[in-house]
């Protein structure tokens, strides 16, 4: 069995990635927010130029699936009309900014995110690796620490700090200079050798002993929050199973309010209080489908060695409350790099089962789709081989 292919880059709108069901076109909303007009326009584009399916990504982006070489140019024109396109593929790649979805009008987060977008669009912006990203996480408590980012802007005490991922200290910044200092930190990362051969992440660079100057302020110590569908002060959080929704569901959401994308594959509908009872959208935190995670799998992903979502749906009611099952189409584990209670990894002829592990860990136990569908308790009766 050959290992999964690590692409080392993420798709964009101008630089789509081929998948089993066609091109994947990733759209990066500005500061994670789509106006109602943008969201319903995106739904129209997904139907007209893709296969009508839209993914919510762990980078708080939306991915239009099933695009062809012929439908890509009119899709790009439509995204430009909606104000959702960057000037170039390079600018799009650099604009890898996660913004806390829990901001109120006048808060620092959207202001800093907008300034960072402008700074990263400059022709002399640092040439960081494709996956290098920023988290603007300036709410009362940080909510994005579990999400991938290389440079983080957070609240610490009464002020803001700029922190290299992997460090527990950062530089004191203000709302006015945070974006400029973030770009300076990215430049330090490049200049100090953080990305040999054009690849590399900040935490790995810090682990080698590299240290930026001025990182003297301690970060806030808080528990990692867990997010589930339900009401928030800014609106209702809800999401589709496996983070994938139809264009018609996206259009229905757009009719309810402006949308904020999150890295938890949930959408926040601004100002909404009550469950709109949309067929595809999960609005209850105890829905069993929230206990399973599954990537595209076969046939949508060319690297997949088996189906994922049908099996995850079948097994979801059997996963105990408080536990998570990850079904992965191969050992790459795209849907979740972190460990979970149970992991099923598709391998030639069946699935490997792991406990408290990542999909990329060795899979010592082997079952077929039929085994698991007929007897879901197999998952709970076995343990990892020594």
Residue nearest to ligand SF4 (CB): 329
Taken as a whole, the chain contains a residue count of 386
Q: Does 330 bind ligand SF4 (CB under 6 A)?
A: yes
Give the span between the Cα atoms of 119 and 151, in whole angstroms: 14
List of residues 6+ apart from 381 with CB closer than 8 A: none
Q: Does 301 bind ligand SF4 (CB under 6 A)?
A: yes
Q: Does 334 bind ligand SF4 (CB under 6 A)?
A: yes
Q: Quick one: which segment of 27-35, 136-144, 300-308, 364-372 binds ligand SF4 (CB under 6 A)?
A: 300-308
Minimum separation from the CB atom of position 18 to ligand SF4 (A): 12
Q: Does 360 bind ligand SF4 (CB under 6 A)?
A: no
Decide if 144 contacts 165 (C-beta within 8 A). no
List of residues 6+ apart from 21 with CB closer than 8 A: 51, 53, 65, 66, 296, 299, 300
Which of 270, 233, 231, 234 shows the shortest CA–CA distance to 253?
270
Q: Where are the alpha helices (DSSP H) in 22-88?
A: 36-49, 72-81
Phi, psi of 367 (to 5 degrees): -135, 160
Decide if 64 contacts 105 (C-beta within 8 A). no
Q: Does 119 bind ligand SF4 (CB under 6 A)?
A: no
Q: Does 229 bind ligand SF4 (CB under 6 A)?
A: no
Minimum separation from the CB atom of position 220 to ligand SF4 (A): 34
Minimum separation from the CB atom of position 353 to ligand SF4 (A): 16
Minimum separation from the CB atom of position 345 to ligand SF4 (A): 8
What are the CA-CA distances from residue 226 to residues 266, 267, 339, 342 (Å)?
12, 15, 15, 18
Q: Does 57 bind ligand SF4 (CB under 6 A)?
A: no
Residue closer to ligand SF4 by CB (options 72, 326) is 326
Q: Quick one: which segment of 41-49, 215-223, 227-235, 297-305 binds ligand SF4 (CB under 6 A)?
A: 297-305
Decide if 62 contacts 75 (C-beta within 8 A). no
Minimum separation from the CB atom of position 4 to ligand SF4 (A): 5
Q: Does 343 bind ligand SF4 (CB under 6 A)?
A: no
Q: What is the 3-state secondary structure (H, E, C) of 304-360?
A: CCCCCHHHHHHHHHHCCCCCCEEEECCCCCCCCCCCEEEEEEEECCEEEEEEEECCC
| Helical (H) or strand (E) element with 240 | strand 235-240
The residue from 26, 95, 205, 332 that contacts ligand SF4 (CB under 6 A) is: 332
Minimum separation from the CB atom of position 254 to ligand SF4 (A): 27
Q: Quick one: which segment of 26-34, 172-180, 197-205, 298-306 binds ligand SF4 (CB under 6 A)?
A: 298-306
Judged by CB under 6 A, how many residues of this single chain contact ligand SF4? 13
Q: Does 333 bind ligand SF4 (CB under 6 A)?
A: yes
Decide if 26 contacts 12 (C-beta within 8 A). yes
Q: Kindly write out the interface string for residues 162-181 of this chain, putting x where it contacts ligand SF4 by CB under 6 A and - elsewhere.
A: --------------------
The residue from 329, 352, 353, 360 that contacts ligand SF4 (CB under 6 A) is: 329
Q: Kindly write out the interface string for residues 276-295 of this chain, putting x where it contacts ligand SF4 by CB under 6 A and - elsewhere.
A: -------------------x
Distance of CA 139 to the CA centre of its chain: 19
Decide if 219 contacts 156 (C-beta within 8 A). yes
| Site residues, ligand SF4 (CB under 6 A) | 4, 295-297, 301, 303-304, 328-330, 332-334
């Amino acid at each position: 069995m050959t290992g999964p292919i690590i692409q080392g880059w993420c798709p964009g709108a101008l630089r789509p990635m081929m998948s089993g069901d066609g091109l994947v076109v990733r759209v990066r909303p500005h500061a994670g927010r789509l106006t109602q007009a943008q969201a319903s326009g995106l739904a129209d584009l997904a139907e007209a130029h893709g296969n009508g399916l839209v993914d919510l990504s762990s980078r708080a982006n939306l991915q239009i699936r099933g695009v062809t070489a012929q439908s890509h140019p009119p899709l790009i024109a439509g995204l430009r009309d909606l104000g959702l396109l960057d000037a170039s593929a390079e600018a799009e790649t650099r604009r890898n900014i996660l913004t806390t979805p829990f901001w109120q009008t006048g808060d620092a987060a959207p202001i800093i995110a907008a300034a960072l977008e402008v700074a990263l669009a400059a022709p002399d912006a640092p040439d960081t690796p494709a996956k290098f990203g920023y988290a603007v996480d300036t709410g009362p408590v940080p909510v994005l620490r579990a999400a991938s980012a290389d440079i983080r802007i957070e609240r610490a005490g009464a002020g803001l700090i700029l922190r290299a991922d992997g460090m527990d200290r950062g530089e004191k910044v203000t709302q006015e200079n945070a974006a400029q200092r973030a770009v300076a930190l990215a430049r330090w990362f490049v200049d100090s050798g953080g990305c040999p051969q054009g690849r590399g992440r900040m935490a790995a660079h810090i682990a080698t002993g590299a240290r930026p100057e001025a990182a003297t302020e301690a970060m806030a110590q808080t528990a990692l929050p867990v997010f589930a569908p339900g009401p928030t002060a800014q609106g209702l959080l809800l999401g589709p199973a496996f983070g994938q929704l139809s264009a018609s569901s996206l259009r229905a959401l757009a009719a309810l309010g402006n949308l904020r994308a999150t890295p938890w594959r949930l959408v926040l509908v601004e100002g909404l209080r009550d469950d709109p009872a949309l067929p595809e959208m999960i609005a209850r935190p105890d829905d069993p489908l929230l206990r399973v995670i599954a990537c595209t799998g076969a046939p949508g992903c060319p690297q997949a060695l088996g189906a994922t979502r049908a099996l995850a749906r079948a097994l979801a009611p059997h996963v105990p409350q408080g536990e998570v099952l990850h079904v992965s189409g191969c050992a790459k584990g795209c849907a979740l790099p972190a460990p979970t209670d149970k992991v099923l990894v598709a391998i030639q002829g069946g699935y490997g089962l792991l406990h408290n592990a990542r999909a990329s860990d060795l899979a010592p136990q082997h079952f077929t789709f039929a085994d698991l569908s007929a007897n879901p308790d197999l998952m709970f009766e076995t343990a990892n081989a020594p």
